[in-house]
């Protein structure tokens, strides 16, 4: 790898339009609510659009997908793929990421008519074969499944013009080094290659040396967050399915009763939709995003400061520089991808010695993002249960008691005593008071529909194995090494027996083939889609390996592993016969 030339100059305060993207791509980004390029996008887009190779060092959550997907789409002649060919190949470590990247490329390139196909273990292979036979513009694949199709002859790389390695360090940690070498060796020498990694260990540098041509090097350092500098904020997360996020938000707002709150969303579209929903539930909510004029922005901020509105629903970019003294709560409707964004968001409350509240709504598969935030900030985020309908009703009663006490203390009740005296001849005084409270409660609840449903409780899922770990984040206290020198993920690590029946799989490769526990965890989690925390004890022998998995998932895992490679080779996989 020769010394890299300096990257092409990016405009000061660039926009997607100023970076030279096709109008159709700029229009798609605007419709998705993208307001301005992130640092990795601003740095990577110019060299990639110019056709240069790129070595990008940037952490997860910095916007890497758009950084490589937009130039890839710019260079495509959409819909011109010949049968059995593809124009671009993106390699990713896990099936979850393959689905995410594929969906993102489809959204960005929808107006261009681009065809995208994700390839990963666990899919019905017949559908994959039919799409590949017709020809496809972009293939997003896990290394094992891509190599499998190459060996079948069903994935042809002769016409590939662009190759992207996303999260390359994680692919190496999962044992895909040999697969990557085999795949890259089958692509044309004159292709454009982009390699993205969170770190640059010697193994990544070696791959870049062999397979990239005079790459432009781009490094986006994490913004340093000093421990101990966080504001006084009570941080809580609630794990909820996406379909229940709005109901959960309404429930939490009712229980928390914020003085004023900012609710952060990722895109303009989400900001607008959520603002409409909250106003429909009786809250005074206003939107704030980059699609608004300065006059509109000033009017909204003035209303929040003057107590003319309770809630501000905003994107990160639009909320920059806001300082609202009466702000008591910050809500992350989505988990921010970058931990630094989380720190900036919650720093808007808990100022001047006051205690603030930060609430984050987490979808089950966003567990990893939450753990990233905890690692960077050095602070624990408590995961709590969504308040039940009974909790909500109790909170209402408490609020009514408080309101009633304040009214009694304030006095000035004489004009209404005659009404009570008239009714007292027919009804008990306690019943009259209860009826008055019911009227008050009904008037407060008017327009706030949809709160009475019970919201399901779900546990967070790890959507991919973490580097260097084989158990839950942080490991189990007192976990002892199991067979093969790895932490035992069975009963000892969990402090009790697993909550599911287990079976043991026999895999026909061991130490002589270079097999490591990480290879097995990566393959099972990445190709079979099993949460890595459900993988039990692993034992590596000289010529075979044994791994414990949940009995209900065993056949699916066997099928997925038979369709992929381990340490670059097909291996026999079956249930252990003892």
560 in Cβ contact with 143 (< 8 Å): no
Q: Are the C-beta atoms of 540 and 513 separated by less than 8 Å?
A: no
Q: What is the rounded CA–CA span in Å between residue 167 and residue 61? A: 11
Q: Quick one: which of 348, 342, 347 has its CA closest to 360? A: 342
CA distance 25 to 108: 6
Both tokens of residue 234?
């009570």
User: Residues near 220 by Cβ (< 8 Å), separated by ≥ 6?
Assistant: 39, 40, 43, 56, 57, 58, 59, 62
The Cα 297–Cα 303 span in angstroms is 10
**pTM listed for this prediction:** 0.50
State which CATH number among 3.40.50.300, 3.20.20.80, 3.40.640.10, 3.30.70.330 fits the domain covering 483-575.
3.30.70.330
Beta strand ranges found along 198-248 (DSSP E): 216-219, 233-239
pLDDT at 354: 62
The fourth-level CATH superfamily of domain 23-219 is P-loop containing nucleotide triphosphate hydrolases (3.40.50.300)
Q: How many angstroms separate the Cα of 384 from the Cα of each of 359, 361, 575? A: 10, 10, 39
Q: Give the residue carrying structure tokens 């004159």.
A: 190
Q: Which residues contact 349 (CB under 8 A, 6 or more apart)?
A: 231, 233, 327, 328, 329, 330, 356, 357, 358
Q: Computed over its alpha carbons, how large is the radius of gyration of the chain?
A: 28
Can you tell me the distance from the alpha carbon of 573 to that of 561, in angstroms, rounded to the nearest whole number? Answer: 7
Question: Where are the CATH 3.40.50.300 domain residues in the chain?
Answer: 23-219, 233-389
Dist. CA 66–CA 50, nearest whole Å: 16
Enumerate helices (H) and strands (E) in the chain, giving the number of each. Answer: 20, 18
- Residue 156 Rama label (left phi>0; alpha psi -120 to 50; beta): beta
Question: β-strand 192-197 against 162-165: which pairing, if any?
Answer: parallel
pLDDT the model gives residue 81: 64
| Alpha-carbon gap, residue 94 to 44, rounded angstroms | 23
Which residue spans within 451-578 are E strands per DSSP? 502-507, 538-540, 545-550, 573-575
CA 452, CA 216: separation in Å to the nearest integer? 56
CA atoms within 13 A on the CB side of 366: 22
The tens place of each residue's pLDDT in the chain, 578 residues long, gives 554 555 555 555 678 888 889 999 998 888 777 778 888 899 999 999 999 999 999 876 677 889 999 999 999 886 666 787 899 999 998 777 888 889 889 989 888 888 999 998 766 677 778 888 888 999 999 998 899 899 888 999 999 999 999 989 888 877 888 899 999 999 999 999 999 998 888 888 999 999 999 999 999 875 554 444 445 688 999 988 888 888 889 888 888 888 889 999 988 888 888 998 888 877 888 998 877 777 887 788 888 777 777 899 988 777 766 667 778 899 999 888 778 788 878 877 876 556 789 999 988 877 778 888 888 778 888 888 888 777 777 776 776 777 677 777 777 777 777 888 888 888 888 888 888 777 777 765 554 444 466 776 665 554 433 333 333 333 333 333 333 333 333 333 333 334 456 788 999 988 888 888 877 887 887 777 777 667 877 888 888 898 888 888 888 899 888 878 887 788 889 988 76
Domain limits, CATH 3.30.70.330, in the chain: 483-575
Round to whole Å and give the CA distance between 101 and 96: 9
**Strands, E assignment, 113-229:** 116-119, 136-141, 162-165, 192-197, 216-219
Distance separating alpha carbons of residues 92 and 195, to the nearest angstrom: 11
- 20 sits in the region (left: phi over 0; alpha: psi -120 to 50; else beta) called left
Question: If one looks up domain 233-389 in CATH, what number appears?
Answer: 3.40.50.300
Query: How high is the pLDDT of residue 218?
Result: 93
The DSSP string of 318-370 is TTTT---TT--EEEESS--SSHHHHHHHHTTSS-TT--EEEEEEE-GGGHHHH
Q: How many CB atoms are located within 10 Å of the residue 557 CB?
A: 24
Q: Does an H or E element contain 476, and which?
A: none
- The reported pLDDT for the residue numbered 494 is 34
Q: Name the nearest CA neighbour of 465 among 379, 364, 367, 383.
A: 367
Residue 320 is predicted with a pLDDT of: 66
Q: String of b and e for 457-485 (b: at least 16 CB within 10 Å)? A: eeebbbbbbbeebbbbbeeeeebeebebe
């Amino acid at each position: 790898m020769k010394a890299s030339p300096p990257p092409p100059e990016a405009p000061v305060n660039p926009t997607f339009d100023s970076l030279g993207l096709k109008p159709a791509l700029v229009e798609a980004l605007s419709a998705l609510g993208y307001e301005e390029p992130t640092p990795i996008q601003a740095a990577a887009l110019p060299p990639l659009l110019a056709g240069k190779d790129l070595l990008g060092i940037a952490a997860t959550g910095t916007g890497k997908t758009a950084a490589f997907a937009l130039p890839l789409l710019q260079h495509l002649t959409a819909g011109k793929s010949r049968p059995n060919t593809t124009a671009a190949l993106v390699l990713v470590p896990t099936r979850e990421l393959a689905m995410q990247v594929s969906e993102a490329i489809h959204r960005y390139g929808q107006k261009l008519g681009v065809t995208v196909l994700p390839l990963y273990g666990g899919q019905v292979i017949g559908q994959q074969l039919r799409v590949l036979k017709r020809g496809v513009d972009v293939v997003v694949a896990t290394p094992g499944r891509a190599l499998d199709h190459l060996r079948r002859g069903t994935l042809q790389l002769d016409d590939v013009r662009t190759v992207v390695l996303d999260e390359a360090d994680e692919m190496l940690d999962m044992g895909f080094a040999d697969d990557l070498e085999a795949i890259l060796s089958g692509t044309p020498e004159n292709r454009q290659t982009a390699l993205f990694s969170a770190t640059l260990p010697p193994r990544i540098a070696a791959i870049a040396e062999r397979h990239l041509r005079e790459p432009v090097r781009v490094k986006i350092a994490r913004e340093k967050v000093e421990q101990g500098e966080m504001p006084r904020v009570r941080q809580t997360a609630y794990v909820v399915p996406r379909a229940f996020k709005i109901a959960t938000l309404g429930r939490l707002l009712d229980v928390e009763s914020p003085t004023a709150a900012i609710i952060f969303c990722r895109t303009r579209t989400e900001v607008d939709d959520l603002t409409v929903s909250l106003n429909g539930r009786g809250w005074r909510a206003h939107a704030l995003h980059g699609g608004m004029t300065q006059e509109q922005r000033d009017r909204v901020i003035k209303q929040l400061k003057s107590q003319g509105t309770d809630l501000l629903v905003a994107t990160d970019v639009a909320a920059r520089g806001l300082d609202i003294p009466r702000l008591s709560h910050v809500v992350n409707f989505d988990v921010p991808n970058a931990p630094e964004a989380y720190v900036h968001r919650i720093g808007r409350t808990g100022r001047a010695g006051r205690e603030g509240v930060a609430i984050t709504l987490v979808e089950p598969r966003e567990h990893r993002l939450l753990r990233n935030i905890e690692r960077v900030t050095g602070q624990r985020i408590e995961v709590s249960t969504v308040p039940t309908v009974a909790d909500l009703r109790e909170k209402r009663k408490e609020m009514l008691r408080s309101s009633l006490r304040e009214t009694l203390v304030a006095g000035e009740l004489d004009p209404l005593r005659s009404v009570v005296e008239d009714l007292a001849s027919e009804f008990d005084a306690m019943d009259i008071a209860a009826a008055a409270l019911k009227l008050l409660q009904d008037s407060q609840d008017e327009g706030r529909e949809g709160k009475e449903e019970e919201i399901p409780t779900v546990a967070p899922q790890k959507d991919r194995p973490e580097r260097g770990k084989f158990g839950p984040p942080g490991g189990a206290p007192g976990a002892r090494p199991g067979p093969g020198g790895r932490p035992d993920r069975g009963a000892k690590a969990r402090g009790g027996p697993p909550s599911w029946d287990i079976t043991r799989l026999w895999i026909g490769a061991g130490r002589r083939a270079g097999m490591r526990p990480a290879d097995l965890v990566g393959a099972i989690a990445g190709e079979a889609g099993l949460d890595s925390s459900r993988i039990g004890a692993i034992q590596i022998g000289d010529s075979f390996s044994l791994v414990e998995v949940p009995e209900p998932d065993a056949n699916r895992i066997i099928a997925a592993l038979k369709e992929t490679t381990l340490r670059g080779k097909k291996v026999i996989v079956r249930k252990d016969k003892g």
